[in-house]
């Protein structure tokens, strides 16, 4: 089922999401709905809070043709995000990160806005899959950026908070105008 996406500056986007302790049918339904919702908006990643659920769960599905994409969160329309390619991360924790990289990011909760953001280039992350099995993943490309962007949502942060003061001010002004 496609759920409604929480749009900035909705206060729910500031919530610190809670750890998942039960890996049950309700969690699976949430993850399945998140995939459908993400696909319906041509997104590449989504955190549970973006559908209003404050639980530490996120999904990422990098389009097959976009593996070398130049922008994270950019809308795309090809049918190249098979469900089995979806990375589902529950209670993720960054074990290691190093390097820096600037990447253009976007977010389904701030549709139509793309800005350069600096993050770690390489991350190693521990997480649980939907069955409660512990997993680790390591990446130094597009996926590493996606993981950091989505993990920020679990801690109530959105990518525009990483912009410079002036860019942030400009964004807020333009966003307010658009909301009218
Ligand atoms: Co986002």
Q: Is residue 82 in a domain?
A: yes
Q: Is residue 17 in a domain?
A: yes
**Rounded to whole angstroms, how far apart are CA atoms 144 and 23?**
25
* Ion ligand 1 residues within 5 Å by Cβ: 107
Q: Is residue 34 in a domain?
A: yes
Q: Is residue 5 in a domain?
A: no
Residue 133 appears among annotated catalytic residues? no
- CA 49 to ligand 1 centroid distance, Å: 10
**How many domains does the chain contain in total?**
1
Q: Are 47 and 58 in contact (CB under 8 A)?
A: yes
Whether 173 shows a pLDDT value over 60: the answer reads yes
Q: Is residue 24 in a domain?
A: yes
Whether 77 shows a pLDDT value over 60: the answer reads no
Host domain of residue 90: 11-179
CA 136 → CA 21, 43, 57, 88, 95, distances in Å? 18, 24, 15, 12, 9
Q: Is residue 6 in a domain?
A: no
- CA 110 to ligand 1 centroid distance, Å: 8
Q: What's the pTM?
A: 0.92
Q: Label residue 180 by pLDDT band (50, 70, 90).
A: confident
């Amino acid at each position: 089922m496609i759920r409604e996406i929480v749009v900035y500056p909705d206060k729910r986007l500031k919530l610190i999401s809670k750890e998942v302790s039960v890996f049950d049918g309700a969690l699976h339904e949430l993850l399945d709905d998140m995939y459908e919702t993400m696909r319906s908006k041509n997104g590449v990643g989504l955190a549970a809070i973006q559908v209003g659920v404050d639980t530490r769960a996120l999904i990422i599905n990098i389009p097959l043709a976009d593996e070398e994409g130049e922008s994270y969160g950019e809308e795309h329309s090809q049918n190249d995000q098979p469900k089995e390619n979806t990375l589902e991360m529950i209670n993720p924790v960054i074990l290691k990160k190093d390097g820096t990289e600037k990447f253009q990011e976007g977010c389904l909760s701030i549709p139509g806005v793309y800005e350069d953001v600096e993050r770690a280039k390489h991350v190693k992350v521990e997480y649980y899959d939907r069955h409660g099995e512990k997993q680790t993943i390591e990446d130094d490309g597009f996926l590493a950026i996606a993981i950091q962007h989505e993990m920020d949502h679990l801690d109530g942060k959105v990518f525009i908070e990483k912009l410079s003061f002036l860019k942030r001010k400009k964004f807020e002004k333009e966003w307010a105008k658009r909301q009218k």
